[in-house]
Amino acid sequence: METRVSSPTREVFIGDGHPTVLIGERINPAGKKKLAEALKAGNLEVVHREALAQAQAGADILDVSVGTFGVNEVKLLPQAVKTVMDTVDIPLCLDSAVPEALEAALKVYKGKPLINSVTGEERSLARVLPLVKEYGAAVIGLVQDEKGIPKDSERRIAIAHKLVEKATAFGIAQEDIIIDCLAFAVGADPGSGTAVIDTIRKIKAELGVNLTLGASNVSFGLPDRSLLNNAFVVMAVAAGVTCLIVDAAKIRPAVVAADLILGRDKHARRYIDSYRQRQRLQKQEG
Ligand code: THG
């Protein structure tokens, strides 16, 4: 199972035979007052800067979200996507809960993007799957439906089956569906960490599709979030997740280490390169 996404000049492959793919999460106004204010004013300078920084930090794909109160996503998402395409040459993940905004972004995107996301809700399936098919994109499917995000593994797995069935019925290849098991804050619910890991293992065994996670959700409300996020992504990768929506600058070293341990880094080349790059940066800074 191999998902291919692309920019005009680069291809990225997601799958068990490849190192874990990192989708940079930082172009997203959630929890970032400055970025939210800039976006409301139509200023895309921060988007440009974040794109550069994340590519430099080793993100393989960039998630682009402008969703915040007071922003017209249909207008702004394609503008943000153009800004990012003019800044970096890596593939993009178009992130919006507004299908019209996804469509507007798809119209300007050059290459094969990831669409983030479709849910198990009939309304979302009916609106987003045709876009995935028409634009030849790949899509992230969230395991939530009209009743919200199920707590138990069985219902999450059932939604994953439904997402894959509906997409394939639309003529979308299984390779182009990536399931997101949806992580919860462990501080709020002590069982949520193991529930997600358990769900990942089962969906992987039953469906064989690629899997992703937005890792930062795990640490909401707790101190030293980066430590928790790092511990969590290593477990998720060991359980079968093949791409992650993360802050690459904070997460990449641990994921590169996990990939080496799991046999996805021949001759430890990426591990050693990653070490050398951090050393160079430290010297520059210190
Ligand atoms: N699954 C999928 N897509 C997603 C998510 C997911 N997209 C959005 C989100 N979750 C992933 N992106 C982010 C972006 C930012 C933060 C977390 C997840 C974040 N922001 C800090 C905060 O809220 O405190 C602020 C960070 C800062 O200022 O540096 O944590 O799960 N498919």
Residue 214 CB–ligand 1 contact under 6 Å: yes
Residue 140 CB–ligand 1 contact under 6 Å: yes
Residue 216 CB–ligand 1 contact under 6 Å: yes
Q: Coil, helix or strand for 180?
A: strand
Residue 217 CB–ligand 1 contact under 6 Å: yes
**pLDDT tens digits for range 176-216:** 999 999 998 999 988 889 999 999 999 999 999 999 999 99
**pLDDT tens digits for range 188-199:** 988 889 999 999
Domain locations in the chain?
Answer: 2-285
**pLDDT tens digits for range 256-270:** 999 999 999 999 999
So what's the pLDDT on residue 273?
Answer: 97
Tokens coding 284: 């520059």
> In angstroms, rounded to a whole number, what is the distance separating the alpha carbons of residues 25 and 33?
16
* Exposure string over 205-218, b if 16+ CB within 10 A, otherwise e: eebebbbbbbbbbb
Q: What is the 3-state secondary structure (H, E, C) of 106-159?
A: HHHCCCCCEEEEEECCHHHHHHHHHHHHHHCCEEEEECCECCECCCCHHHHHHH
Q: From atom 27 of ligand 1, which residue's Cα is the shortest distance away? A: 32
The rounded Å distance from CA 266 to ligand 1 centre is 31
132-149 mean pLDDT: 97
Statement: 2-285 belongs to CATH 3.20.20.20: yes
Q: From atom 31 of ligand 1, which residue's Cα is the shortest distance away? A: 214
Nearest to 105 by CA among 142, 136, 140, 73: 73
Q: Given pLDDT bands bounded at 50, 70 and 90, which one contains residue 5?
A: very high
